[in-house]
Amino acid sequence: MSTAQLYFEDVKAGDEVRPMFKYVDQIMCVEWGHVSNNGDVGHWHIWSNRHKQTADPAAPVVRRGQDPTLHGQFKAALVEQMLLDWAGPGAWVKKMEVKYKVWDYPYELKSFSGKVVGRREEGGEGVVDVEVTMANEEGLVTTPATATVVLPKRS
């Protein structure tokens, strides 16, 4: 995580959003279920042995029906984390749209990447539009997202 501040004047369309890599385990799913008051057992139950399956890197990845999946809301929260890590503490994510195209599973390293697609001034504030993708270990984009981030100005 970086605490450096990004300013509106320093951003242009086409700029890359700094990537984020996040290893997600089942404990995080359980904790998120608690925080979000979402008791849906499919998101956190303890019977999965996927971590055992993937402990051997040579073993084929077998996804089973009873493996827990990540909450969609959790993925949205990770997207915002990535954006604020990039933009700094003076930024604010005003709008987000996060789509859940493919199931995500714990015990995987998730990759977040993105780019700036637009910048404008809105009500005297500097605003940038970004596109973000979250991909699983196979490189499959599971969660495309768009966001509007308000950045501070130098002047």
- Residue 54 contacts other proteins per CB under 8 A: no
On whether the CB atoms of residues 62 and 107 are closer than 8 A, the answer is no
Q: Which of residues 13, 35, 41, 59 is near other proteins by CB under 8 A?
A: 35
* Cα(111)–Cα(137) distance, integer angstroms: 8
Burial of 131 (0-12, 13-18, 19+ CB in 10 A): middle
Q: Which of residues 53, 61, 77, 113 is near other proteins by CB under 8 A?
A: 77
* Closer Cβ to other proteins, 59 or 94, answer by number: 94
Task: Order across the sheet with 125-135: list the strands.
Answer: 16-24, 108-122, 125-135, 141-151
Q: Which of residues 7, 15, 36, 53 is near other proteins by CB under 8 A?
A: 36
* Closer Cβ to other proteins, 2 or 49, answer by number: 2
Q: Give residue 22's Cα distance to chain centre.
A: 8
- Residue 79 contacts other proteins per CB under 8 A: yes
Residues of span 132-151 touching other proteins by CB under 8 A:
150
Q: Give residue 92's Cα distance to chain centre.
A: 16
Q: Which of residues 9, 97, 121, 137 is near other proteins by CB under 8 A?
A: 97
Longest dimension (CA), the chain: 56
Q: Which of residues 45, 54, 61, 99 is near other proteins by CB under 8 A?
A: 99
Site residues for other proteins per CB under 8 A: 1, 3, 5, 22, 28, 31-32, 34-38, 72-74, 76-81, 84-85, 88-100, 150, 152
